[in-house]
Structure 1
């Protein structure tokens, strides 16, 4: 080939290179993720609206007259009952009650509690920190415990430790939380035989404590509710982590890592566990929302002054605005956490959402 031909070839190839479109891979991936995220957010909004509608009609199926319940069995005239119904809008047609409820809810007004004569949002805001203290403490402990024991059980699959951990997790996971809570109260609060009553039977504080003594008092009351939630919930995290890690243990990359001379502990921590954490990360977000919504029985058993105890108290009236507001909060916690898990998963595994 002549020099001129070579030069022409180089020019042509360079021109082709200059004319070639830039790599659009990152931009395409970003667009795909935005479409994926928009779909998930749209589904979450639709779910929240469905919960808003369901909460209105569902609790009107509860038998009983809330106005008569609020009078506490006292002799009340028909005129007084009519006045109460007019005050709370219960004399309006059902369709008008529904439209008023939806219109106010979309502006953040969840109505006024029948029994407390206070805005529902204020009662929720007042009880929410107590529920978060219980649920977040329990969530951190049972998540850490489940991941730790799940990785240990999978890495020693079939051994005595694996069989013991798996069997105990399945047994505790199948126990109703209220039954376990009552059992703990009987053993560790009331005392059985040589076991003295070590913890309070209920409540969040003894009263009269300030400063660091108050913190210790709340922690003392927190022990049994937290133990109940941790015992019932850690098994699911353990089983999911164990199953995911077992799927990874046959991978060629682990064999390569061992062939390079890495210790077994490093192979597990640096290679196997990070890849096995994808299903567990989804479960973590789902569990956080589910724990917030699932503390009703535990808070009721231990008389914990949170959203769960407030929900039980509202059901006994029935305090319809308060029940509806709490139901919406519980459902929203689950929906929001599920949506966050969906949005996070493609960042952990790029194959999702494409």
Structure 2
């Protein structure tokens, strides 16, 4: 029997499964690239806004940096004018702003008034100290918050859950500087039967080398790390607990139990991984704050990091140093938030579609 040929380009039957899979993957890649482009564009706009804000905001601080640079000495009007010309303070505000933005885009954040050194050099010098302090605290309070938050959610309503949640809420509401001062009074100065066990501040005693230096720094690190962990772990605990409680009523957990899996396996293999998405966002936000440091804690414990440097620059005011530190602090948070937004769709494909 004669059968007419199919028109050119027409398929005889459904499309192959492989073609459908490739088309779906292409759509997913396209959606993810659009998501990435949108987030990167938003981050660029945020960084530009921070650059503008950092310039104008700190010029509202009372005080004359030129008078600070003279050390309170009696100087002539000609000398004050020479200082202003040296640091560009005699220029119109709009010209100062354009010069600042142009240099910042090339990585030049200006010259510190009080240190007479490039701002980027002072930041690079203090950054490792901040990363040591807040990085150590970040690892500890993140791990502690996730472990205790998971246990509290799985045993909700019990005594351990009530104690963990109550303590986390209480410590999270405590001002960090107040807790730091309290720890100094009790464990550095000594109170009653408790002797002074730890230094009152600083990063090192001086004169130590090798392993003795490491022990000395660790000794100075104890109280500020305890302060940060005590104040910050509660947030991670509460977010982890809340996210896991939302997952515990899901049908897939009931199915896993029906298959005979132990509660411990159901929690570790099924519930916790799905409940970690909100916690991941919090971890990235806290990671950005790690670079910024904690200004009050570093100031209370005289820790030579970015936070202490920021407080010192504010007291002058050292405008280039304050602006540079503010830009670094805000940029760290923006970059970490953007990374969280980019990684989220890889963990949960529903995000970014």
Instruction: Name the CA distance, whole Å, in 1 between partners of 2:291 and 2:176.
Output: 14
Q: Deviations over 1:23-59 (max 9, x none)?
A: 2101100110000011001100100010001000000
List runs of 5+ in structure 2 lacking aligned partners. Answer: none
Partner of 1:125: 124
Instruction: Name the CA distance, whole Å, in 2 between partners of 1:226 and 1:178.
Output: 12
Q: Quote the offset at 1:73 in angstroms.
A: 1.2
Partner of 1:288: 287
Q: Quote the offset at 1:291 in angstroms.
A: 3.6
List runs of 5+ in structure 1 lacking aligned partners. Answer: none
3-state DSSP of counterpart to 2:115: coil
Instruction: Name the CA distance, whole Å, in 1 between partners of 2:255 and 2:15.
Output: 41
Instruction: Name the CA distance, whole Å, in 2 between partners of 1:291 and 1:170.
Output: 22
Instruction: Name the CA distance, whole Å, in 2 between partners of 1:21 and 1:317.
Output: 67
3-state DSSP of counterpart to 2:12: helix
Label 1:21 to 1:208 Cα distance change in 2 as closer, same or farther (>3 A): closer
The aligned runs of 1:295-310 (5 Å cut-off) are 295-310=294-309
Label 1:64 to 1:14 Cα distance change in 2 as closer, same or farther (>3 A): closer
Matched, 1:16 2:38: no
Instruction: Name the CA distance, whole Å, in 2 between partners of 1:50 and 1:264.
Output: 49
Partner of 2:167: 168
Partner of 2:222: 223
Q: Deviations over 1:316-335 (max 9, x none)?
A: 11000000000000000110
Partner of 2:263: 264
Q: Quote the offset at 1:77 in angstroms.
A: 1.2
The number of residues matched between the two structures is 348
Partner of 1:341: 340
Instruction: Name the CA distance, whole Å, in 1 between partners of 2:58 and 2:216.
Output: 37
Q: Deviations over 1:71-119 (max 9, x none)?
A: 2211111111111111111011111111100000000000000010000
Instruction: Name the CA distance, whole Å, in 1 between partners of 2:11 and 2:175.
Output: 72
Partner of 1:80: 79
Partner of 1:140: 139
CA RMSD between the two structures: 1.9
> TM-score scaled by structure 1?
0.95
Instruction: Name the CA distance, whole Å, in 1 between partners of 2:77 and 2:235.
Output: 54
Partner of 1:194: 193
Q: Quote the offset at 1:195 in angstroms.
A: 0.4
3-state DSSP of counterpart to 1:110: coil
Instruction: Name the CA distance, whole Å, in 1 between partners of 2:129 and 2:39.
Output: 30
> TM-score scaled by structure 2?
0.95
Instruction: Name the CA distance, whole Å, in 2 between partners of 1:28 and 1:329.
Output: 37
Q: Deviations over 1:162-183 (max 9, x none)?
A: 1000000000000111111111
